[in-house]
Structure 1
Amino acid sequence: MGQARVRASVYVSVDVEADGPIPGPYSMLSFGAAVAGRQDADGYVAAAPEAVTFYRELRPISAEFVPEALAVSGLDRERLLAEGAQPEAALREFTAWVREVSRGGQPVMCGYPAAYDWTFLYWYLMRFTGESPFGHSGCLDMKTLYATKARLPLRAVAKRTMPAGLLSRRPHTHHALDDAIEQAELFNNLMAWPGV
């Protein structure tokens, strides 16, 4: 019998800026996404990270925030309370965008590290739309990917320990779209890297 054709994965780099450590009591203030590339049984094909992107700033969902967390992004909560997108509308737009850019494939969220961003993104998707275009587990952590290819313990890995040639040349600005694009470039480099 012939081998079943593998359905492509479409990798979407996502970065989140939030005003606290967990969703619910605290708010996701902005998120950015960039299509990194597509992988099927024939291999991985990188996309231009800045070519296909999504960005929204959101209205906070609670009055609570951690000043140090808010300071990281530099976003203005008062402005977002007045001008930020309603989370339900923004997450529905994002879901439609993910489905459009991953036509014919299965979307996979990727991040560095993915745990924080995935926690906020998945919680917001489920809370405000009742579904996730990534399913329950369509998430890939770039830190784990690097640790596996480098044959290192996960807790020994940081960007400063990675070979310079793998890192993006773009600055890490803590603007969600800038950082999603930067991470998409890192992801493409990691996918091309044979490891050690």
Structure 2
Amino acid sequence: MIVERPMAEAVYIVTDIEADGPAPGRNSMLAFASVAVTADGEERGAFEAVLEPLPGAAPDPDTYAWFQTQPQALAAATRDPRPAEAVIADYVAWVRGFSGGRVFAAYPLAFDGLWLDHYLRRFTRHALVEGHYARDRLFDGSGLCLKSYAAAITGRPPWDCAPRDLPPDWFGGHSHTHRAIDDARGYAHLLGVLMRRGAERGWQASSRRDS
């Protein structure tokens, strides 16, 4: 496997997206935000953007109806949009600014990652997962699902690991507002909590094996 960056110095690009429906391409990503943090939760930078809808796409009626119940989130996700191609170009440049390993993370990976992958493939030569032997990858590995990680750390099933099911302090005081940057910062803090708890459990398991 080609390793181009020092993974010991990796940052986690914790990302949250807001979309007007469930299907990339048929619907549009309205806004997204990424917060780059180290494994111990130290923030190294943030990126936030609002995007113009994709040509030919249309909002999903059910999603649109839900957004009407969240006026502040809708306002944040639609204020001063920029062309999607320009946003994604800026995002790629921002991600490339981190010279160490770069791991995409989301809660859950299967939703937010699907959207970023679609936009990267549509507007750049990159993808969320580019293969072990690809050179000049944007991200390393296949990404980290924070919802799955939370289930593993807490011992709860994934369907009982919504943000409301976890201790509020695990999110560092960042309320889940459905504004992308707020939610991304909460998830970035959660990553640090999960990493620390995972390290503690690993140390305890190692100690038991060595005793």
TM-score clears 0.5:
yes
Distance 1:180 1:188 in 2: 13
Q: 1:138 to 1:95 in 2, by over 3 A?
A: farther
Give unmatched runs, 5+ long, in structure 1.
38-43
Per the TM alignment, residue 47 of structure 1 is displaced from its structure 2 partner at its CA by 1.1
- Structure 2 counterparts to residues 18-29 of structure 1, below 5 A: 18-29=19-30
Q: How many residues align?
A: 178
Q: 1:168 to 1:46 in 2, by over 3 A?
A: closer
Partner of 1:64: 58
> Do 2:32 and 2:180's aligned partners in 1 also have CA atoms closer than 8 Å?
yes
Per the TM alignment, residue 117 of structure 1 is displaced from its structure 2 partner at its CA by 0.7
Partner of 1:74: 74
Residues 18-42 of structure 1, C-alpha deviations (whole Å, 9 max, x = no match)? 00001010000111111121xxxxx
User: When the two structures are superposed, what TM-score results if normalisation uses the length of structure 2?
Assistant: 0.74
Give unmatched runs, 5+ long, in structure 2.
128-137, 205-211
Identity over the aligned pairs, expressed in percent? 33
User: When the two structures are superposed, what TM-score results if normalisation uses the length of structure 1?
Assistant: 0.79
Secondary structure of the residue aligned to 1:69 is helix
Whether 2:175 is the aligned partner of 1:171: answer yes
- Give structure 1 regions of 4+ aligned residues with deviation exceeding 6 angstroms: none
Partner of 1:41: none
Q: CA RMSD in A?
A: 2.5
Secondary structure of the residue aligned to 2:35 is strand
- Structure 2 counterparts to residues 107-146 of structure 1, below 5 A: 107-132=102-127, 133-134=138-139, 137-146=141-150
Partner of 1:154: 158
Distance 2:185 2:165 in 1: 21
> Do 2:41 and 2:188's aligned partners in 1 also have CA atoms closer than 8 Å?
no
Q: Which amino acid aligns with 1:66?
A: D
Per the TM alignment, residue 56 of structure 1 is displaced from its structure 2 partner at its CA by 0.9
